[in-house]
C-alpha cells in the first residue's frame, strides 16, 4: 500500500472510531431520555382509564350498594377494557387483594394490594406487575378502602417503541459511518492522495527517461511545491538538451555528435511540446457521486412493491406490484449499451449530467403517480438515468485507476454501489415511515439535483473516446459464441440476479409485511442483504486471487443461496426470512468478484471480443435476470404462497449451481484428455 493510501485509510479509520464512540454515547443518552419521557405518558393513560371506571363504581357505593353486592361487573370491565387500545387488563379486587372480577389477561406475577394499603393522596397507585404497568384506583365504602380497580397497560408498547428507536438509532449510526467514510475518502483523495499520486507518477515517468511530462500549476500544499520543482527540472533539462542539439549542429564534429545524441534519444525522451500530466480527480471523483446517486435511488427499495400494490388495488394486484420493478430493471438492461456509447461520445462527466435528467424526472413522476402504469413509466425513466450514470462512473473509475490497481479500483465501484444501497434502503424505510411514500420520492429527486452539482464540480472534463464506435452486434455474436461465457451467463449470472430481484427486492418485503412488521422493520431486514454482501465481496475476491478457483467459488455461492432459501422447511417465517436474506447477500457477494475476474481470461481466447465488450454483455445478462426475477416470484407467490415461492427459488439456485459445477468438471476433463 502506498503512503498516500495508507494515510487516507488511517484518517478514515480514526474518524470512524471517534464518530462511533460519540454517536454511541449520545444515542444511549437519548434512548434513556426517551424511556423516561414515554413511561409517564403510559402511566397517565392508565390512570385516566382507571379514574373513569372507578367513578361509576364509587357512585354505586356512595348510593349505598355494598361492595359485595355489586353486579354486572364482568360486562362493565370488559366494556372499559375495550375503550382504549393497548390495555392489557382491568381488574376489580377487594380490600384484601382478592380478584372479584376481571377482563383481559393479567400477568401471572399480578398480586393484589394487601389489606391496610393506604390510598394515594391523588391519582392512582402505580406499580410494575410482570410485563405491565398497573394503575390502582381506590374504592371507598364508609370511609375505608373496600377494593381497588386495577388498569394494566402492557409494557410491550413501550418495549416496541424502544426497540424501534434503538434500531433507528443503529441504522442512523451505520449510515453516518458509511457516509462519513465516503466523504472523508473523497476529501482526502482530492486534497492529499491525488496530488501525492500525481508527484509519484511524474517521478516514475522521469525515472523512465520521459522528460516531456510536466505537472499542472494548480496543485497546492507540499505536493504542489514538489511538482513545481519537477517542472523547473524538466524545463532546464529540455533547455540543455536543445542547447546540446544546437551545439552539435554547429561544431565541426557534427556527425559524431549527432550519433551520440541519437543514442541518447533512443533511451530518453525530450521535447519542448510537453505532455502535461493531468491531476485528474482521483477515483473518489466518481465514487462519491456514485454512492450518493445509488443512495437516492435506493430510498424507495423497501416500499416499491407495497406502493405499487396499493396503486394496483391491494392483493388483487399481485402481478401488477412487480411491474414498476420490472420496467426499471428492463430500462437499465436495455439502455446500458446505449449509455456506454453516450459516455464514449461525450465523456464521463457530461454523460453523467445527461443521465441525471431522466433520473430526477423519474423520481418526481413516481411521487405524483396516480396509478400503477404511471408509476411503472416513471420507474422506467429512472432506469434510463441509472444506466447512463453508473456506466459513466465506471468508465471514470477505470480512467483514474493506477497501473496494477484496476481490479481494486473497480472493486470500489461495487463497494460504492452496495454502500449506497445499504444506506439508501435503511434511510428510505425510516423516511417512508415518517413522511410517506410520495415525499420519499421527492427527497430522491432533490438529492439528484445536489449530486449533479457535485459531479459537475469534482469530476474532470474530457474522456471522450477517439476509437471508432460500432460493431455492437459483431461483438455480441463473438461473445455468445464462446461456450464458457454462455455457461457463466446462463448458469451463474442470470440465476443470481433472478434470486436477487425476485426474492430480496420483491418477495421479502411482501412476506415481511404479512408477518406484521412495520415499514422500518422491513427496511432493516432488506438491509441485511447489503450488509452481508459488502464483506463477502472482499472475501470472495481474496479467496479467488489466492486459490485461482473462481468457478468453484461461484458453485459454492449458488448452493449457499439455495440452502438459505430452503430455510422455511425447518424454521418459522420470522426466522427463515431474515436468514434467507443474509444467505442471499453473502452468496451474491461471494460470487461477484470471481465472475468479473473470469472475463479478462475469456476475452483472450481466439475470436472472443474485448474484455470491455464481454463485461457489458455480462452486465446486460445480469439485468435481464433482474427483470425476470420479480414477475417470476409474483407468479409463484400467487400460485403457492410465499414459502412455496422461496422453496422453488432455492431449488433453482441449487440446480443451476450443480449444473455449472458439472460443466466445469466436464471442461476440465476434456482439457486433460486433449493434453
User: What does the buried/exposed string (b/e) look like for 633-658 if buried means 16 or more CB atoms within 10 Å of the residue's CB?
Assistant: bbbbbeeeebbebbbbbbebbbebbe
Q: What is the distance between the alpha carbons of residues 596 and 537, in angstroms, rounded to a whole number? A: 11
Residues of the chain with pLDDT under 70: 1-5, 7-9, 31, 34-39, 157-158, 216-221, 248-283, 314-319, 340, 398-412, 462-472, 520, 600, 610-613, 671-675
Which pLDDT value is given to residue 115?
83
Which pLDDT value is given to residue 209?
75
Which pLDDT value is given to residue 466?
45
Give the chain's domains with CATH numbers: 39-159 (3.30.450.20), 481-675 (1.20.1250.20)
The pTM assigned to this predicted structure is 0.64
Which pLDDT value is given to residue 4?
59
Q: Which pairs with CB-CB distance under 8 Å and at least 24 residues apart come from 651-655?
A: 651/562, 651/566, 652/495, 652/498, 652/499, 652/562, 653/495, 653/499, 653/558, 653/559, 653/561, 653/562, 653/565, 654/558, 654/559, 654/562, 654/563, 655/562
Which pLDDT value is given to residue 395?
73
Which pLDDT value is given to residue 134?
84
Q: How is residue 181 written as a grid cell?
A: 467514510
DSSP 141-181: ETTEEEEEEEEEEETHHHHHHHHHHHHHHHHHHHHHHHHHH
Per the CB < 8 A criterion, the answer to whether 136 and 113 are in contact is yes
Q: What is the distance between the alpha carbons of residues 5 and 15, in angstroms, rounded to a whole number? A: 15
Residue with cell 498516500: 4
Which pLDDT value is given to residue 557?
92
Q: Which stretches within 604-641 are classed as H helix?
A: 611-640
Per the CB < 8 A criterion, the answer to whether 153 and 42 are in contact is yes
Amino acid at each position: 500500500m502506498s503512503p498516500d493510501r495508507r494515510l487516507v485509510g488511517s484518517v478514515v479509520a480514526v474518524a470512524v472510531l471517534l464518530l462511533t464512540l460519540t454517536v454511541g454515547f449520545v444515542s444511549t443518552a437519548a434512548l434513556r431520555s426517551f424511556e423516561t419521557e414515554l413511561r409517564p405518558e403510559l402511566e397517565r393513560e392508565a390512570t385516566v382509564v382507571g379514574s373513569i371506571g372507578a367513578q361509576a363504581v364509587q357512585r354505586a357505593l356512595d348510593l349505598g350498594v355494598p361492595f359485595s353486592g355489586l353486579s354486572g361487573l364482568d360486562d362493565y370491565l370488559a366494556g372499559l377494557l375495550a375503550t382504549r387500545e393497548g390495555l392489557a387488563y382491568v381488574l376489580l379486587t377487594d380490600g384484601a387483594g382478592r380478584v372479584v372480577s376481571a377482563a383481559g389477561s393479567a400477568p401471572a406475577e399480578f398480586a393484589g394490594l394487601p389489606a391496610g394499603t393506604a390510598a394515594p393522596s391523588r391519582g392512582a397507585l402505580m406499580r410494575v406487575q410482570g410485563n405491565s404497568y398497573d394503575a390502582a384506583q381506590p374504592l371507598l365504602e364508609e370511609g375505608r378502602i373496600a377494593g381497588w380497580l386495577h388498569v394494566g397497560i402492557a409494557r410491550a408498547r413501550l418495549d416496541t417503541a424502544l426497540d424501534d428507536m434503538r434500531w433507528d438509532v443503529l441504522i442512523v449510526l451505520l449510515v453516518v459511518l458509511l457516509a462519513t467514510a465516503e466523504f472523508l475518502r473523497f476529501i482526502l483523495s482530492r486534497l492529499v492522495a491525488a496530488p501525492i499520486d500525481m508527484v509519484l507518477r511524474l517521478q516514475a515517468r522521469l525515472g523512465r527517461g520521459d522528460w516531456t511530462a510536466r505537472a499542472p500549476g494548480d496543485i497546492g500544499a507540499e505536493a504542489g511545491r514538489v511538482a513545481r520543482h519537477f517542472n523547473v527540472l524538466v524545463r532546464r533539462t529540455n533547455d540543455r538538451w536543445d542547447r546540446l542539439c544546437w551545439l552539435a549542429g554547429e561544431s565541426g564534429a557534427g556527425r559524431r555528435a549527432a550519433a551520440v545524441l541519437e543514442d541518447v534519444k533512443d533511451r530518453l525522451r525530450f521535447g519542448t511540446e510537453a505532455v502535461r500530466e493531468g491531476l485528474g480527480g482521483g477515483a473518489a471523483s466518481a465514487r462519491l457521486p456514485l454512492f450518493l446517486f445509488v443512495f437516492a435511488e435506493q430510498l424507495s427499495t423497501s416500499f416499491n412493491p407495497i406502493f405499487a400494490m396499493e396503486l394496483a388495488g391491494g392483493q388483487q394486484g399481485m402481478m401488477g406490484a412487480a411491474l414498476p420493478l420490472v420496467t426499471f430493471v428492463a430500462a437499465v438492461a436495455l439502455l446500458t449499451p446505449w449509455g456506454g456509447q453516450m459516455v464514449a461520445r461525450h465523456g464521463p462527466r457530461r454523460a453523467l449530467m445527461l443521465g441525471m435528467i431522466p433520473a430526477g424526472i423519474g423520481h418526481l413522476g413516481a411521487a405524483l403517480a396516480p396509478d400503477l402504469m404511471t408509476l411503472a413509466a416513471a420507474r422506467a425513466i429512472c432506469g434510463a438515468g441509472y444506466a447512463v450514470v453508473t456506466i459513466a462512473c465506471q468508465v471514470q473509475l477505470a480512467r483514474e485507476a493506477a497501473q496494477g490497481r484496476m481490479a481494486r479500483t473497480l472493486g470500489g465501484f461495487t463497494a460504492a454501489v452496495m454502500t449506497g444501497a445499504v444506506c439508501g434502503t435503511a434511510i428510505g424505510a425510516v423516511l417512508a415511515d415518517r413522511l410517506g411514500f410520495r415525499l420519499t420520492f421527492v427527497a430522491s429527486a432533490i438529492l439528484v439535483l445536489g449530486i449533479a452539482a457535485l459531479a459537475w464540480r469534482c469530476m474532470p472534463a474530457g474522456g471522450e473516446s477517439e476509437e471508432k464506435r460500432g460493431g455492437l452486434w459483431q461483438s455480441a455474436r463473438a461473445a455468445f459464441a464462446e461456450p464458457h461465457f454462455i455457461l457463466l451467463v446462463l448458469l451463474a449470472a442470470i440465476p443470481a440476479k433472478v434470486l436477487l430481484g425476485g426474492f430480496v427486492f420483491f418477495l421479502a418485503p411482501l412476506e415481511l409485511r404479512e408477518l406484521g412488521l412495520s415499514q422500518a422493520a422491513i427496511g432493516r431486514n432488506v438491509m441485511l442483504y447489503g450488509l452481508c454482501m459488502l464483506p463477502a465481496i472482499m472475501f470472495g475476491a481474496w479467496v479467488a486471487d489466492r486459490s485461482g478457483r473462481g468457478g468453484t467459488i461461484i458453485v459454492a455461492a449458488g448452493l449457499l443461496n439455495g440452502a438459505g432459501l430452503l430455510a422455511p422447511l425447518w424454521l418459522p417465517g420470522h426466522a427463515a426470512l431474515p436468514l434467507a436474506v443474509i444467505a442471499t447477500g453473502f452468496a451474491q457477494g461471494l460470487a461477484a468478484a470471481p465472475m468479473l475476474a473470469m472475463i479478462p481470461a475469456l476475452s483472450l481466447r481466439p475470436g472472443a471480443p474485448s474484455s470491455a465488450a464481454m463485461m457489458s454483455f455480462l452486465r446486460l445478462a445480469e439485468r435481464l435476470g433482474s427483470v425476470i426475477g420479480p414477475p417470476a416470484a409474483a407468479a409463484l407467490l400467487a400460485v403457492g404462497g410465499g414459502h412455496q415461492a422461496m422453496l422453488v427459488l432455492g431449488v433453482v439456485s441449487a440446480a443451476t449451481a450443480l449444473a455449472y459445477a458439472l460443466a466445469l468438471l466436464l471442461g476440465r476433463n476434456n482439457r486433460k484428455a486433449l493434453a
